[in-house]
Amino acid sequence: MKPSDLVLPGILLVSAGLYVWYYGWLVLAQQMINGLQRGSMYALIALGYTLVYGIIRLINFAHGDVFMMGVYFACFAGNFLLSRGVGFAFWIAMIVAMIGCLLINVLIEAVAYRPLRDRPRLTMLITAIGVSLFLENFLSLDPHQLPFPFNHLVFGPQFRPFPTLIKERVYPLAAGLTISNIKIIDLATALMLMVVLEYIVKRTKMGKAMRAVSYDMDVARLMGIHVDRIITFTFALGGALAGCAGILYGLTYGVLQSPCLGMWPGIVAFVAAVVGGIGNIPGAMLGGFLMGIVETLAISVNSNLGYGVTFLILILVLLVRPKGLLGSPYMEKI
Amino acid sequence: MMLKVCNLDLRYQQIQAVKGVSFEVSKAEIVTLLGANGAGKSSILRAISGLIRPFGGEIFFEGINITRLPCHEIVKLGIVHVPEGRGIFANLKVIENLEMGSFLRRDKKAVRQDIERVFTLFPILRQRQNQYGATLSGGEQQMLAIARALVAGGKLILLDEPSLGLAPRVVESIFQIIARINREGLSILLVEQNAHQALEIAHRGYILETGSIVLADTASNLAKNQSIRKAYLGE
Ligand SMILES: Nc1ncnc2c1ncn2[C@@H]1O[C@H](COP(=O)(O)OP(=O)(O)O)[C@@H](O)[C@H]1O
Ligand SMILES: [Mg+2]
């Protein structure tokens, strides 16, 4: 334990103390509950960053946009299912969003990243930014100038309402605190997927092969591991988690703002992955919840404070503990 | 003929690492490839197992041209490569390392028997089976690397400097085990700088100098050869 390791916990504790002094314990508790909800989405997205970084050392800057596609898939699937009066619409839409994002992420890897695997690392990083801009701008195309059928549904930068897949109900807890069914669903879904992910990575043959590839790709090849398939599998996992975050986002906020809605959550989740220790799976979960809580608290003080605080934490972590709270298994610079 | 390497040419960008190398390994034979640091030994093994693509030449395994096959298919045919520096997955447990060694095998029962067999061969690995690879000593890692190759169920094992960085006593026991698994029927291509130990257990040997084979003979003849004794046995 170095003295610098105390900087971040210290700052967080002092800020929480000031918050309590100003707003009181109850407000802090309520905002923490709200923050856990936001954090569940960030954690799911952050896992995608960390999984991909672990396997090919790429910060996949398009990941926030894969999450955005998840909101789209969920929105369209949800509208369709509701219009047909299908039961369990939320859960079906969740599966659609997860599979949709899984396929998109696998496609992005195969088309954009795989051909660049032997190039300098920066090439892939810049390509990831390119993929991100492509997705955002492609979906923002003016629908009136496109000949496709249904183009008015899919394309265009405009705001869309997200279908009410589950009606929000608010339940009182002790001392005036409240929780809602949607908060419970967000948190429970995220936690459940994390357990599933932990099981896949720790216990299954594919998961063990993922860890082997992440440690040494060439030696993994010598074991007979088909490395390309493991990388595809990793992108599939990350995509599915982002898709789930996408439907939770739609459910929680009830809107699909624009094709750029994934940008900010993508950035926060990236910061969360770095804060937890990039490449470290429990680290991404912890970082996600932490960033969710911190951002919620900051926004409750002033609605513009979230942005600054997020980057402040990134800078602080990179300054005082670059390998993240739980430690990154990788020594190289990010 | 089990392995046949013909006229192998290996390059890294412009640098020629290996040129015109040809050699063979027969069934149940230990063949050693001796050479100083940088002679091109590891590159040859990496080309055989498919990690690098040859610039020229051909490699045949049991009559099949494997020159352009991907790694996992070469492993499936029965070539197992234990890389220089052992290549243990430090972030996986000993038992998980062994599972990775048997990654392509579907015969679960036989795999379990093979794991049991390597645990009898290396009792220390049984004790350490739930420890992470990172916690093993150098000697234990080398044992694990060989054990992991054995559970792959291959026919030919490529060993890249198994004596590297190990104490003489450990080297002795590792080489005895190599001789033993060979007597049980496996072919071995042993790359070494430690010519003394290698020639003791090998049947035949090749001397590699800056990317070319300069001498090929039986191990006993090589051990007697004056110039070899000077260059590699420190006499
Ligand atoms: N990845 C690489 N890139 C460029 N040159 C390499 C690479 N690997 C090996 N070489 C060069 O190829 C030659 C043979 O290396 P190597 O096969 O490792 O020899 P050995 O195993 O006999 O020590 C050396 O000159 C080495 O510098
Ligand atoms: Mg070498």
pLDDT tens per residue across span A259-280: 999 999 999 999 999 999 999 9
How many beta-carbon pairs below 8 A join chains A and B?
60
Q: What Å distances lie between residue B101 and A244, B89, B150, CA to CA?
A: 34, 11, 8
Select from B45, B81, B89 the residue whose CB has the most chain A CBs within 10 Å, as the one to mutate to test that interface: B89
Q: Are A43 and A291 in contact (CB under 8 A)?
A: no
Buried b (16+ CB within 10 A) or exposed e, B159-172: bbbbbeebeeebbe
Q: Whose CA is nearest to atom 8 of ligand 1?
A: B43
Domain that holds residue B195: 25-45+71-232
Q: What is the C-alpha separation between B217 and B208, in angstroms, rounded? A: 12
Q: What's the confidence (pLDDT) of residue B1?
A: 86
- In-domain check, residue B218: yes
What is the rounded average pLDDT of the residues B170-198? 95
pTM for the whole thing?
0.94
Query: Does any domain span residue B10?
Result: no
Using pLDDT thresholds of 50, 70 and 90, give the confidence band for residue B192. very high
C-alpha distances in angstroms, B33 versus A183, B4, B22, B45, B230? Answer: 65, 14, 12, 10, 17
What are A323's two structure tokens? 């390998």
**Domains in chain B, number:** 1
Residue A328 forms part of a structural domain: no
Read off the pLDDT of residues A41-87 as tens digits, 9 standing for 90 and up. Answer: 999 999 999 999 999 999 999 999 999 999 999 999 999 999 998 88
Q: Is the CB of B211 under 6 A from ligand 1?
A: no
Q: What are the angstrom distances between the C-alpha of B128 and each of A150, A190, A209, B123, B144?
A: 61, 35, 20, 9, 10
pLDDT at A82: 95
Q: Considering the domain boundaries, does residue A334 fall inside one?
A: no
Cα of A285 to nearest chain B Cα, Å: 20
For residue B52, pLDDT beyond 70: yes
CATH code, domain with B139: 3.40.50.300
Its ipTM equals 0.95
Q: Does residue A326 sit within a domain?
A: no
Q: What is the pLDDT of residue A333?
A: 41
Helix H segments across chain B? 41-48, 71-77, 94-101, 108-121, 123-127, 138-150, 168-183, 195-201, 219-224, 226-232
CA distance B149 to A153: 56
**Banded pLDDT at A142 (limits 50, 70, 90):** confident
Contact between chains at B100 and A212 (C-beta distance less than 8 A):
yes
- For residue B37, report the distance from its CA to the centre of ligand 1, in Å: 9
Q: If 0-12 CB within 10 Å is exposed, 13-18 middle and 19+ buried, where does residue A282 land?
A: middle
Judge contact between A245 and A41, C-beta under 8 A.
yes
Please write the tens of the pLDDT for every residue from A96-121: 999 999 999 999 999 999 999 999 99
Q: pLDDT tens-digit profile of B98-120?
A: 999 999 999 999 999 999 999 99
Ligand 2 centroid–CA B18 distance in Å is: 12
- A213: domain CATH number is 1.10.3470
Residue B4 lies in a domain: no
Q: Residue A270 carries which side chain, given as an amino acid letter?
A: F
Domain range enclosing A173: 3-320
pLDDT at A150: 62
B37 lines ligand 1 (CB under 6 A): yes
Inside any domain, residue A88: yes
Beta bridge partners of A256: A160
Q: What is the pLDDT of residues A210-257, one digit of tens each?
A: 999 999 999 999 999 999 999 999 999 999 999 999 999 999 999 999
Could you tell me if residue B9 is inside a domain?
no
pLDDT digits (tens, 9 = 90+) for B124-136: 999 999 999 999 9
Residue A325 lies in a domain: no
> How many domains, chain A?
1
A70, A101 contact by CB (below 8 A): yes
Burial of A144 by CB count in 10 Å (0-12 exposed, 13-18 middle, 19+ buried)? exposed
CA of B38 to the centre of ligand 1 (A): 6
Rounded average pLDDT over B151-158: 96
For A95, the token pair is 């599966």
What mean pLDDT comes out for the span B213-223? Answer: 93
d(CA B87, CA B159): 12
Is the pLDDT reported for residue B226 higher than 80?
A: no
Q: What is the DSSP string of B123-161?
A: HHHHHTTTSBGGGS-HHHHHHHHHHHHHTTT-SEEEEE-
